[in-house]
Amino acid sequence: MNWSDLNLMLALPEVVLLLAILAILLIDLFIPEDRKSVTYGLTLLTLVGLTAVQIVGFPAAPATTFSTMYISDPLASVVKIAMYAATFCVLVYGRQYNAARGMERGDYYTLTLFALLGMNVMVSASSFLTLYMGLELLSLALYALIAIQRDSMPGVEASMKYFVLGALASGLLLYGISMVYGATGTLDIATVARAIHAGNTNALLLTFGLVFLVAGLCFKLGAVPFHMWVPDVYHGSPTSVTMMIGAAPKLAAFVFILRILVQGLDALAVHWQGMLVLVSILSMLIGNVTAIAQTNIKRMLAYSTISHMGFLLLGVLAATPEGYSAALYYAVVYVFTSLVGFGILLVLSRKGFDCEKLSDLAGLNQRNSWYALLMLLAMFSMAGIPPMAGFYAKFAVISAVAHIGMVPLAVFAVLMSLIGAFYYLRVVKVIYFDAAEDNNEITVAGDIKLLLSLNAVALLVFGIVPDRLIEVCFAAVKQSLVLM
Amino acid sequence: MSFTSVVFYVLSAILIFSSFKVITAKNPVHAALYLVLAFVTSAGHWMLLESEFLAITLVLVYVGAVMVLFLFVLMMLDINIEKMREGFWRHFPLAGVIAAVMMGEMSLVLMRPEARLAEYTPRAALPADFSNIRELGLLLYTRYLYPFELASMVLLVAIVAAIALTMRKRKDTKFVNPGDQVAVRRNDRVRIVKMEAEKPAAAGDDAAAADQQQA
């Protein structure tokens, strides 16, 4: 390797993020317990700075550095900007909640930034080795964040479950990767793709490895039949951490799948398409049907996540640029919709009370009609009701599937989104037509209210004029996933 | 079958057996010792691949440092592991069947002629003066620089997470900050309470008190 190959400028966002983490880790030591707002401010500043760096250095074409272990391309940049925005929202919405529960410690912020670093690494990895390292960095930070309330039994239990199942999934992934390595003799994703296209690889070993890779990926994404951890982890974690798990990591996992299945193993599309069809059908079915029976709203949102991951996979399994960009659009819209949903739960929680049950939302309209409206927007977007962004996202993935001739699958997806509409609308019914049982005043800081409102209004705006965002997604996918 | 293959199969058999015992042993100390055995046999596998440095590191770091520390902790604490994993034996048959089916399926796939495993022939033996450490060092700090740095990040997260999850201020500690002691003011220590002067009790109350004493 030449040192001239080492173009650090391409990896500038990661370098900045790493230096910021180390600085915050040190500065935080000198900040007294009751003035953690300094750490909070520094963390937000880091995110704003990162977004600026990312936008200024937006790449026109894919470029690699660190001996082709790191790739900088439009897809990575778009997703990273979305992840910074999502993490920013998570930190702002969760602040009051964390402060009331003694979770507003320096570790919370540094671990969040570490998780973000792991996601960044995953998103711009161009080797199986770096993909895996990024995944471990993210997972380790998340395990600790879930258990950050050390004395809460549900949190520790959820962390333990996530840890054990996450280790199992990592094992499956590694086994799959080792098979791919055995068949192609390399870990570099582009070289793997070239070797398979050249046709002198061991097809059976590749397919064998692919099964384990898909299983590991579905585990990480939380798709049926590897979904068992999702409801327990969503339920057991503190709501602010649940929101974090449901936001940026989903985007990172999505790019993770694109890098492995589309960039590396696109020649095996025939094989993974079949597997993903099955996973997607099961996820939509089990996610939506089980969500109906939930009375705990965090569990309900967990099952709704599972079904959304099924919809997301529809776009991936279409195996066309149209499908990938639809899935990217779906992932971004889903993340910002779930942020509003969990944001409202955080707003309604207060010291000593967690808004968790469906009945806790009863009569929200009488208590505060503005938050009721925001929750209504989030639920409509999740259900995919027309003026909202969620509608266009569902429409895009379903039409991508229909365009490759899988009409029965498209019809099934429409039916499943109808079933899903039932429990989303039930939340709206509880908010608007049930009598309020809890009449405590909702006190929320102005910045949370402002950002939450902006976030919810964005769902409406991107639903009415989706062209800009879908164009960005399409351009990113087209310029990044250039097939060999 | 060459001598290397015989060694490989013997080592693998010991490895599988000891890994199995790690999860089924009833005594946690035995489980830890089986884990040591598993590490040592994996080191034997590295040796077969002519990666002496990795083999020695595995023994030195995992067996010599990590497991010894782990055994110390295990012996200090009186853990009843049987109680901690209630239900393990109840679910064991089902899990065992699933594992056996998976293993059968995997070996069926890999033993088919299409797997072309025979093509993976052993590579030629390395020259006697081949230096593992030199090659590793060259690769780690050049080609694999990025994953190497990431590994250091993973370790840093582990440190931060371990501190975040275990460090707590003890409530029963008698430590006093001298700075606080010097900075103390009279108002922090003494509180003057104004009280009404006491009045002599009424005669009726006295009678009631006397009744109580008799009872």
Domains and CATH numbers, chain B: 3-77+96-142 (1.20.120.1200)
Q: Cβ separation of A114 and B151 shorter than 8 Å?
A: no
Q: Cβ separation of B115 and A110 shorter than 8 Å?
A: no
Q: Cβ separation of A129 and B147 shorter than 8 Å?
A: yes
Mean pLDDT of all residues in A299-328: 94
CB atoms within 10 A of CB B111: 9
Closest chain B residue by Cα to residue A106: B164
Write the CB contacts of B196 (distance below 8 Å, at least 6 apart in sequence): none
Q: Give CA–CA dist A479/A472, Å, rounded.
A: 11
- In 3-state terms chain A splits into helix, strand, coil percentages (rounded to 5) of 80, 5, 20
> Residue A64 pLDDT > 50, yes or no?
yes
> Residue B213 pLDDT > 70, yes or no?
no
Which residues on B lie below 8 Å from A105 (Cβ)?
A: 164
CB atoms within 10 A of CB A482: 11
Mean pLDDT of all residues in A279-289: 95
Closest chain B residue by Cα to residue A25: B160
Shortest distance, CA B113 to any CA of chain A (angstroms): 10
Nearest one of B58, B29, B66 to B41, comparing CA atoms: B58
Q: Which helix (H) or strand (E) holds A134?
A: helix A128-146
List A71's β-bridge partners, or say none: A64
Q: Give CA–CA dist B85/B81, Å, rounded.
A: 6
**What value of ipTM does the predicted structure carry?**
0.91
Q: Are A297 and A358 in contact (CB under 8 A)?
A: yes
Q: Give CA–CA dist B171/B149, Å, rounded.
A: 39
Q: Cβ separation of A111 and B147 shorter than 8 Å?
A: no
**Residue of B106, B114, B164 lying closest to A111 (CB–CB):** B164
Q: How confident is the model at residue A2 (pLDDT cuts 50, 70, 90)?
A: low
Which residues on B lie below 8 Å from A1 (Cβ)?
A: 142-143
Q: Are A282 and A225 in contact (CB under 8 A)?
A: yes
Mean pLDDT of all residues in A36-57: 94
Closest chain A residue by Cα to residue B116: A202
Q: Are A116 and A79 in contact (CB under 8 A)?
A: no
Phi and psi for A63 in degrees, rounded to 5? -145, 145
Mean pLDDT of all residues in B64-74: 88
Q: Give CA–CA dist A140/A112, Å, rounded.
A: 11
What's the whole-model pTM score? 0.90
* CB neighbour class for A85 (10 Å; exposed up to 12, middle 13-18, buried from 19): buried
Residues A423-459: pLDDT tens digits? 999 999 999 998 888 777 888 888 999 999 999 999 9
What letter does residue A57 receive in the DSSP assignment?
Answer: T
pLDDT of residue A152: 85
A421 touches chain B (CB under 8 A): no
> Residue A484 pLDDT > 50, yes or no?
no
Residues A132-155: pLDDT tens digits? 999 999 999 999 999 998 888 899
CB atoms within 10 A of CB A441: 7
Percent of chain B at pLDDT above 90? 34
Q: Give CA–CA dist A211/A173, Å, rounded.
A: 9
